[in-house]
């Protein structure tokens, strides 16, 4: 009699198949969206983008791998340009370079990757509309591109085609670059927040409306762990899990049940367990909670609050329908996307150019819907 043959139960076979499928599925590690495009860094070090690309000129309603990127750990989208943070600490960018936002010493647009000059130890990256900033391992912050209002923090309003050091910042842990009015903010190891640049809406958080080409301290914030800037308002997550916001508030994007702008931080109503926040130029704010839910507040004309249909603005946070395992959040002009545990992503809001990456090229309003990462170029 021969040896017995072991036959795995059907449930075990199914589990093995599902495990193999999960390993084959493209897994995102970061996600970023702004105007016409959404991009994600993938577990294999590549970057996939959906929507309308300026250079190379293309439009796709599902994510397509951008050629030539290896070792990307994060990606950030600007207006018609993108930048990737590499595991080596270098930064590479591509697209529009009219203000030097590609950081390689020129203003020549590029459809291929160019390396940002002089940066080899970046640990965090943020792109605004036309400028970008990186936090270095030393805690210093370097910025490049458009310097309208002093958004580069070097004491001038001169555009810079290569990175310049933000003056007076030596212990930053994170940075947020804005879009419309080009302010920038950094979180320090101490938990304080400093901002610089335009200040027409009070987005520097120091109680004035005077722009500053050098960092100024945001008053009243002493225990921040993360900051996000839009260009007209800013929000910070505190160590307690609360969220403070300041700046423009025409659509309730400060989340304090008011539409009055604030030149000093105000507390967002009803959030006590936030882990991350993202704000967008057109008056949208969203926070990921520690339990994996997402709440948004502000404008909702394109269903960007995640209710599945357009309604009036919400002056306080409301829960995005259908999300329960979110780990990070990005907000575009009138849409938002959340990275989920396990590397999938959902988006909601206005799908102009197919930028939300779930197929279909026409703008449409939908609830939270999975992004169709492809894993191919």
- Chain Cα centroid distance, residue 355: 14
Which backbone phi and psi does 118 adopt, to 5 degrees? Answer: 75, 10
CB atoms within 10 A of CB 169: 20
pTM of the model as a whole: 0.92
* 274 neighbors 243 (Cβ within 8 angstroms): yes
CA-based radius of gyration for the chain: 21
- Chain Cα centroid distance, residue 6: 51
Parallel, antiparallel or unpaired: strands 160-165 and 141-145: antiparallel
Measured over the CA atoms of residue 252, residue 258, residue 261 and residue 263, the dihedral's sign is: negative
Q: What token pair was written down for 285?
A: 């704010």
- What pLDDT score does 377 carry? 62
Query: CA–CA separation, 107 vs 261, rounded Å?
Result: 36
Please give the chain's pLDDT, 377 residues, in tens.
Answer: 333 333 334 444 334 333 433 445 789 999 999 989 999 999 999 999 999 999 999 999 999 999 999 999 999 999 999 999 999 999 999 999 999 999 999 999 999 999 999 999 999 999 999 999 999 999 999 999 999 999 999 999 999 999 999 999 999 999 999 997 889 999 999 999 999 999 999 999 999 999 999 999 999 999 999 999 998 999 999 999 999 999 999 999 999 999 999 999 999 999 999 999 999 999 999 999 999 999 999 999 999 999 888 889 999 999 999 999 999 999 998 999 999 999 999 999 999 999 999 987 667 787 899 999 987 76
- What pLDDT score does 4 carry? 34
- What pLDDT score does 19 carry? 41
Query: CA–CA separation, 300 vs 306, rounded Å?
Result: 9
Which backbone phi and psi does 277 adopt, to 5 degrees? Answer: -140, 150
Query: DSSP string of 193-218?
Result: EEEEE--TTSTT-SS----EEEEEEP
Indicate the SS3 state at residue 44: coil
Partners of 215 in the beta sheet?
none
- What pLDDT score does 99 carry? 98
CB burial class (10 A; 0-12, 13-18, 19+) of residue 74?
buried
Query: CA–CA separation, 267 vs 41, rounded Å?
Result: 32
* Of 340, 364, 269, the residue nearest 40 (C-alpha): 340
- Chain Cα centroid distance, residue 48: 15
- What pLDDT score does 268 carry? 98
The answer for residues whose C-beta is within 8 angstroms of residue 223's C-beta and 6 or more apart is 191, 238, 239, 240
- What pLDDT score does 13 carry? 34
Residue 265: C-alpha distances to residues 219, 281, 287 (Å): 7, 18, 16
């Amino acid at each position: 009699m021969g040896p017995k043959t072991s036959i795995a139960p059907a449930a075990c076979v199914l589990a093995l198949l599902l495990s193999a499928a999960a390993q084959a599925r493209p897994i995102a590690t970061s996600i970023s969206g702004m105007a016409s495009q959404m991009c994600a860094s993938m577990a294999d070090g590549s970057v996939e983008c959906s929507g309308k690309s300026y250079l190379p000129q293309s439009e796709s309603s599902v994510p397509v791998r951008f050629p030539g990127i290896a070792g990307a750990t994060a990606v950030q989208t600007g207006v018609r340009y993108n930048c990737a943070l590499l595991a080596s600490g270098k930064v590479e960018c591509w697209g529009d370079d009219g203000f030097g936002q590609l950081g390689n010493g020129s203003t020549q647009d590029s459809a291929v990757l160019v390396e940002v000059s002089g940066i080899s130890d970046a640990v965090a990256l943020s792109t605004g509309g036309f400028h970008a900033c990186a936090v270095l391992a030393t805690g210093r912050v370097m910025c490049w591109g458009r310097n309208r209002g002093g958004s580069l923090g070097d004491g001038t309003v001169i555009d810079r085609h290569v990175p310049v050091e933000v003056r007076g910042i030596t212990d930053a842990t994170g940075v947020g670059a804005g879009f419309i009015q080009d302010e920038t903010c950094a979180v320090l190891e101490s938990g304080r927040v400093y901002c610089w640049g335009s200040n027409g809406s009070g987005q520097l958080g120091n109680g004035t409306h005077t722009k500053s080409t050098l960092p100024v301290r945001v008053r009243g914030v002493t225990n921040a762990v993360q900051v996000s800037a839009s260009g007209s308002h800013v929000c910070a997550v505190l160590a307690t899990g609360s969220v403070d916001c300041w700046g423009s508030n025409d659509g309730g994007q400060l989340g304090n049940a008011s539409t009055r702008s604030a030149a000093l931080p105000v507390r967002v109503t009803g959030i006590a367990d936030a882990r991350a926040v993202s704000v967008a130029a057109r008056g949208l704010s969203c926070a990921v909670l520690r339990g994996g839910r997402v709440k948004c507040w502000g404008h909702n004309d394109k269903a960007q609050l995640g209710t599945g249909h357009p309604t009036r603005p919400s002056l306080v946070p409301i829960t995005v329908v259908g999300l329960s395992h979110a780990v990070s959040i990005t907000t575009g002009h009138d849409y938002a996307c959340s990275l989920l545990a396990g590397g999938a992503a959902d988006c909601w809001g206005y799908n102009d150019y197919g930028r939300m990456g779930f197929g279909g090229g026409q703008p449409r309003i939908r609830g939270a819907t999975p992004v169709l990462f492809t894993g191919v170029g």
